[in-house]
Amino acid sequence: MQFEIMRDRLLDGLSDVIKAISHKVTTPILTGIKLEATEKGLTMTGSDSDITISTFIPLEEDGTQIIRMIQPGTLVLQAKVFNEIIRKLPTNEVMIELRDGMKTHIRSGQSEFHIIAQSADEYPILPDVKDAERFELPADLMKSIIRETVFAVSQQETRPVLTGVQWTMKEDELYCIATDSHRLARRIITPEVQASIPFNAVIPGKSLQELSKILPDHSNPVEIFIANQQVLFKLHNVLFYSRLLEGNYPDTSRLIPNEYKTSITVNGRNLLQAIDRASLLAREDRNNIVHFSTDGSSHIQISSNSPDVGNVEELVEAVQIEGEPLKISFSAKYMMDALKAIDGQDLMIHFTGSMRPFILKSIDSEAILQLILPVRTF
Amino acid sequence: MQFEIMRDRLLDGLSDVIKAISHKVTTPILTGIKLEATEKGLTMTGSDSDITISTFIPLEEDGTQIIRMIQPGTLVLQAKVFNEIIRKLPTNEVMIELRDGMKTHIRSGQSEFHIIAQSADEYPILPDVKDAERFELPADLMKSIIRETVFAVSQQETRPVLTGVQWTMKEDELYCIATDSHRLARRIITPEVQASIPFNAVIPGKSLQELSKILPDHSNPVEIFIANQQVLFKLHNVLFYSRLLEGNYPDTSRLIPNEYKTSITVNGRNLLQAIDRASLLAREDRNNIVHFSTDGSSHIQISSNSPDVGNVEELVEAVQIEGEPLKISFSAKYMMDALKAIDGQDLMIHFTGSMRPFILKSIDSEAILQLILPVRTF
């Protein structure tokens, strides 16, 4: 194997692939990146066995020569060392050459590295996504969907299926749902290109977080292939595979109330800042609980206290308050997460009593719903 | 106590004082910040007993009213909570009021905190710097001095005096020296305002690092008062006290060679980058050793190897190489620290053989000297 490549483009590709490399990997070959040099270009693959990322660099891009291919071949190089070497090389021209068995020479300017490679024979093949359901979403919309749901997945491994986000296609709508059983985030989307048949998959939250870092901010389509045990997100020149979580995702539809006793319209940013301040003292007690009440006036009262430190009272002017007066307590963190996910100006909060789950929605759209279970304190 | 204050200016002051607050403090009162409101303004003090920082906010600054003083008084508030509350308040006007015993009310817009204060009676008095030697240095020069020396202090508590930087005034010159017994950094300055008599003080490295964060980037003078057990750095509106380290600082003057067998002039940035690359493999072996040699040509060879990963060879073009050919090995980290401290373009390295300490100097100035002990490998 021998080729010359532009360092900056190689670094771009590496920055994607390296996101799949884990420090905790048990299979030694997975500490490496697989390089496949062909007459068409260079493919690099990294994996931690849950996530696999593969990126392709063509010989030429936009009329500029990126790679001069002298001899195709494949090998595996230690990911961390390879990435750092490339990052620190003195010039933009890099020659990579395998000779003398498994010794790989990396030359740039007056700098020459000789790195021991591993054989690509041991490297796992790419996951199988044959017979997958296929649909498309714009990249920036996918980024939003992830941001609006993934924070609500469970951080505990006691129910592994809850560490993922459930993606379900039914009646031409894609439902993305995450819950840790104390709160729930739901996003509904109508994809322009439909999957041929309904599907139901639970994608690990961690995979979606890594994917989000790679997704560009423009609206170019991402192709999504959902197979039996794997999902593939196909971007321009990048393939992102993730395993799917097994197990039955709970039926969350019954959780969501559709009758309300108190409905409040309020500016999301004002409410977020007031909860954030109240949580300064809530946090001191480590339970992170704030109290929320209405008294018939146009204000919401938010308060919290910590016996050792003191207490705080906030008034937030509501746009509208309908229904019964309310006293309720909840986790400041959950409320702040939900408010950040909605990220709009005005939003509605619907309550069904102080011990029942309540929901938050944008006033403009039904697409995002956040649900939070209260805590008994009043 | 009651006063109204501009939030942004209060935050500025807090950001200085909070640097003295430690999480590891054993005296509970030192988790707090002392507020002293007088007819002249507000003084805030924080301390971890090694470092004490005191900042003063006058009633008026540049013709703008900063504080409206209603009732002078003193109290101590939990540093972390107080700082976070002020940072998140909704408006720039903050009312701070002590009433009902030790309950402190912090009001801003529709937000009201009630925080339990502590009595200032328990708060330690400021360190005593009577009979101190006084001299001045420009703030930006002090920042440079700290940057050029403090990295070389010992990180180990086995010889506590080596965790500080020795400041010695002799023959109208200030010598600042740090050594961890494997390398040494020395900076010589001629202050414009002399101390009346010579002194010798060892300032904790940690204190200098914190001071450096507070020092402005302009050349306004900092007054320095060196007393028996304390040093005070007096900036505009800020007093920074540090205890001095006890114990005899070793006589380092004999360490510095003044006869050389090989002298090399080289571009510091090129050498730094080559060592940085070589250290990528050196680091893998955790000993962080690189090899440096000359062979009569105009190049320096730098190399390192890690049996598991591979090896690297770098050539650096020297400006001039005088004297005997040389093979020497040293810590890549120490060399990079020294090169960063000199921070110039061309520099000289003087060697006295492969097992003797070598020194680095700027070609423009004798003011900065860096010394490194080699490692036996060749």
Q: What is the pLDDT of residue B15?
A: 96
pLDDT of residue B283 exceeding 80: no
Q: What is the pLDDT of residue B130?
A: 84
Q: What is the pLDDT of residue B132?
A: 87
Interface probe for B, chosen from A281, A305, A306, A316 (most Cβ of B below 10 Å), is: A281
Q: Distance between CA atoms of A348 and B109, rounded to whole angstroms?
A: 24
> pLDDT tens digits, residue range A165-211?
999 998 889 999 999 999 999 999 988 776 667 889 999 999 999 99
Q: How near does any CA of chain B get to the CA of A353, in Å?
A: 26
Domain A256-372, what fold?
Answer: Proliferating Cell Nuclear Antigen (3.70.10)
Q: Select from 3.40.50.12780, 3.40.50.150, 3.10.150.10, 3.80.10.10 the CATH code of A133-161+189-248.
A: 3.10.150.10
Helix (H, G, I), strand (E, B) or coil at B351: strand
> pLDDT tens digits, residue range A55-103?
999 999 999 999 999 999 999 999 999 999 999 999 999 999 998 788 9
The CATH number assigned to the domain with range B133-253 reads 3.10.150.10
Residue A100 exposed, middle or buried by CB count within 10 Å (0-12, 13-18, 19+): exposed
Q: What is the pLDDT of residue A195?
A: 64
Mean pLDDT of A354-358: 95
Question: Chain B residues within 8 A (CB-CB) of chain A?
Answer: 78, 81, 84-85, 88-90, 103-104, 110-116, 273-274, 276-277, 280-281, 284, 308-317
Q: What is the pLDDT of residue B80?
A: 93
Residue in A with minimal Cα distance to B80: A280
| Contact residues on chain A for B276, CB-CB shorter than 8 A | 88
Q: What is the pLDDT of residue B286?
A: 63
Please say whether the beta carbons of A11 and A29 come within 8 A.
no
List the structure tokens of B18: 């909070």
Domain B2-122, what fold?
Answer: DNA Polymerase III; Chain A, domain 2 (3.10.150)
Which amino acid would we find at residue A288? N
Please say whether the beta carbons of B372 and B286 come within 8 A.
no
Q: What is the pLDDT of residue A25?
A: 77
Residue in A with minimal Cα distance to B276: A88
Q: Which of A357-361, B71-75, B361-365 has the lowest mean pLDDT?
A: B361-365
**Backbone phi and psi for residue B326, each to the nearest 5 degrees, phi listed first:** -140, 140
Is there a contact between B314 and A112 if contact means CB atoms under 8 Å apart? Answer: yes
Residue in A with minimal Cα distance to B118: A309
DSSP output for A136-178: EEEHHHHHHHHHHHGGGS-S-TTSGGGGEEEEEEETTEEEEEE
Q: What is the pLDDT of residue A192?
A: 78
Mean pLDDT of A40-53: 96
Q: Work out the pLDDT band at B314, boundaries 50, 70, 90.
A: very high
Q: What is the pLDDT of residue A131?
A: 84
* Closest in B78, B114, B315 to A110, CB measured: B315
Residue A101 gets which letter from DSSP?
T
Cβ contacts of B276 within 8 Å, gap of 6 or more = A88, B332, B336
ipTM, interface predicted TM-score of the complex: 0.88
pLDDT of residue B288 exceeding 60: yes
Q: Which of A352-361, B80-89, B191-200, B292-301 has the lowest mean pLDDT?
A: B191-200
Residue in A with minimal Cα distance to B306: A115
Fold match flag (A2-122 vs A256-372): no
Mean pLDDT of B23-28: 84
Residue in A with minimal Cα distance to B32: A309
Q: Work out the pLDDT band at A378, boundaries 50, 70, 90.
A: low
Give the E-state strand segments of B102-220 in sequence order.
103-108, 111-116, 133-138, 164-170, 173-179, 183-189, 199-204
**What is the DSSP pairing of strand B164-170 with strand B199-204?**
antiparallel
Q: What is the pLDDT of residue A101?
A: 83
**Backbone phi and psi for residue B317, each to the nearest 5 degrees, phi listed first:** -70, 125
How many angstroms separate the Cα of A340 from the Cα of each of A74, A273, A359, A373?
45, 11, 14, 17
> pLDDT tens digits, residue range B128-165?
898 888 999 999 999 999 999 999 999 999 999 999 99
Is there a contact between B312 and A114 if contact means CB atoms under 8 Å apart? Answer: yes
Please say whether the beta carbons of A65 and A58 come within 8 A.
no
Domain map of chain A by residue range?
Answer: 2-122, 133-161+189-248, 256-372
Q: Which of A281-285, A316-320, B197-201, B266-270 has the lowest mean pLDDT?
A: A281-285
> pLDDT tens digits, residue range A259-318?
999 999 999 999 999 999 999 988 655 678 999 999 989 999 999 988 888 999 999 999
DSSP output for A219-288: --EEEEEE-SSEEEEEETTEEEEEEPPPSPPP--GGGS----SEEEEEEHHHHHHHHHHHHHHHHHTTS-
> Average pLDDT of chain B?
94
Please say whether the beta carbons of A334 and A307 come within 8 A.
no
* Closest in B85, B273, B274 to A280, CB measured: B85
| Contact residues on chain A for B116, CB-CB shorter than 8 A | 308-310
| Contact residues on chain A for B317, CB-CB shorter than 8 A | 110
Question: Chain A residues within 8 A (CB-CB) of chain B?
Answer: 78, 81, 84-85, 88-90, 103-104, 110-116, 273-274, 276-277, 280-281, 284, 308-317
- CA proximity to B358, closest of B368, B370, B347, B367: B370
Which amino acid would we find at residue B3? F
Q: Work out the pLDDT band at A6, boundaries 50, 70, 90.
A: very high
pLDDT of residue A27 exceeding 70: yes
Q: Percent of chain A at pLDDT above 90?
A: 84
* Closest in A88, A110, A312 to B276, CB measured: A88
Q: What is the pLDDT of residue B282?
A: 81
Q: Distance between CA atoms of A256 and A31, rounded to whole angstroms?
A: 44
Residue in B with minimal Cα distance to A314: B111
